[in-house]
Amino acid sequence: MSSFNKPEDGPQRAPNTSRAARPRDAATLLLIREQKGRPHVLMGQRSGGTSFMPHKVVFPGGRLDRGDHVIAPHAPLPDPAIEKLTQDPRGARTISPAKAQALALAALRETYEETGLAAGVTQADANAVKTRSPGWANYFQSGALPALDRMAYIARAITPPYRPKRYDARFFMAPADVIAADCHDALAGSGELLDLHWVALEEATQLDLPNITRMIVQIALDRMALPDPFDPTHKVPFFYFHKGKPQWTEIE
């Protein structure tokens, strides 16, 4: 992805010498909708009452939940995406295919919780699915079942060690027609994610974005320039820190 600026090209902050917080697993979903011949992505503004990136404009997403491990998707994540999710170029311990799929499910659940949009397939008896997870119980009440087969894994990023809250975030991208409902313009955000709207990808960088969100927007732009932006075999950029310095590599 030649137009992408690696993290070491930008400003850096000196690492904190205290013990870094352990990153929590998280997942984010970029929903892409073609509008007037241009790709648009769904974004919202984080509430000022949140301790992590208040007021910043971001994609829907959040932490991996226990319930994400026990939900059986209507359609699984493509094998190439699972393979990339289980890889770690640093040589660190890899995750299982089951956890890889749970991360994709987390992206769907968090998107529903923050936007009210259920990405998946409509099925008449979906609301009869039993689960102890409040988030998934609400999702199933929408009449949808989670389908992961059209989700592309596009990036991974770990929050810098000097941040008080850290996440090991996996970013997914899917076409907006995966939404099992009308893809409307007026969206009621959750208490955590406000002012939801569809933003033209090339204009998104003009918003008040966290640095990593700005990087992901560029990755999405590069993807949308390809013949098949959602091809799960494309390389996946991975951003992390090692000994206080930002690192960039690709998962093949």
What is the rounded distance in angstroms from the CA atom of residue 210 to the CA atom of residue 60? 14
Q: How far is CA 107 from CA 7, 90, 94, 154, in A?
A: 24, 24, 20, 13
What's the angle, vertex CA 54, arms to CA 49 and CA 58, rounded to 5?
125
Q: What is the pLDDT of residue 92?
A: 78
Q: pTM (2 decimals)? A: 0.88
**Neighbour tally for 48: CB within 10 Å:** 8
Q: What is the pLDDT of residues 85-141, one digit of tens each?
A: 999 998 877 899 999 999 999 999 999 999 989 999 999 889 899 999 999 999 999
Contact by Cβ (8 Å): 118, 84: no
Q: What is the pLDDT of residue 195?
A: 80
Which comes out higher in pLDDT, residue 8 or 243?
A: 243
The closest of 111, 113, 237 to 178, measured between CA atoms, is: 111
Show the DSSP H helices in 13-170 as ranges.
Answer: 79-85, 97-115, 134-141
Domains of the chain: 19-117+149-251 (3.90.79.10)
What is the rounded distance in angstroms from the CA atom of residue 65 to the CA atom of residue 146? 15
Contact by Cβ (8 Å): 119, 72: no
Q: What is the pLDDT of residues 32-80, one digit of tens each?
A: 999 989 999 999 987 655 555 567 899 999 999 999 999 999 999 999 9
What is the rounded distance in angstroms from the CA atom of residue 240 to the CA atom of residue 228? 27
Q: What is the pLDDT of residues 153-199, one digit of tens each?
A: 999 999 998 888 899 999 999 999 999 865 455 555 555 677 888 99
Q: What is the pLDDT of residues 219-239, one digit of tens each?
A: 999 999 999 999 999 999 999
Q: What is the pLDDT of residue 65?
A: 96
46, β-bridge pairs:
193
Crossing angle of helices 97-115 and 134-141, rounded to 10°? 60
Can you tell me whether residue 91 is helix, strand or coil? coil
Q: What is the pLDDT of residues 139-151, one digit of tens each?
A: 999 999 999 999 9
Contact by Cβ (8 Å): 220, 9: no
Q: What percentage of the chain's residues is helix, strand, coil (to nearest 5)?
A: 25, 30, 45
Q: Please report which confidence band the pLDDT of residue 12 belongs to, taking 50, 70 and 90 as the band edges.
A: very low
Q: What is the pLDDT of residue 21?
A: 85
Structure tokens at 11: 């400003």
Q: What is the pLDDT of residue 33?
A: 95
